Structure 1
């Protein structure tokens, strides 16, 4: 009987752990900022742009935000965490910013490839 209860308890714990959903926080910039991404590029981010939060840094005085596969750091006073009800709008804003970044990245890559081919 004890073994049956132990197995039942294990199944219940495993089921609840599998049902957990992934939570992603988004932050909205509260002012225009010039940032340097981890890939070395510099971008001018606009007030209202939204990005996924990767982590807090230095006792939550800085946020590490993600843009595609790169990250950048902003002071926490320059960004606000998006409320859960506003997350769908934040995701749409992020997708727009992401599209601009990808187009710019591919244009730079293409220009470098063409310049290298001419040499």
Structure 2
């Protein structure tokens, strides 16, 4: 996620060193824009287990997965796209689709989420 801004800044510094400040300006603008767009879609990245849903927020994306719709919770290292900042992920499967998330303490999170799903199922039955 940081490759584009860092690379643009490094090439911009090189452009200044070789006497091309105009090109450097555009590189710095491009790098800053890439950093802002990345931050808008990645910060904050958090997952909250509520009484009736799993709340997922990653930047401007926000949605909730009802606990009674979760069919499976498992560890994953999938490269598929998802609201996560790591490849140490948790796959939250629903009847419609999987959700890949990356909580900081994933083993504890999986245990807590499984417990919440079980409680939600027993409350709705």
TM-score (norm 1): 0.33
Computing the radius of gyration from Cα coordinates, the structure with the larger value is: 1
Higher relative contact order (CA 8 A, sep 6+): 1
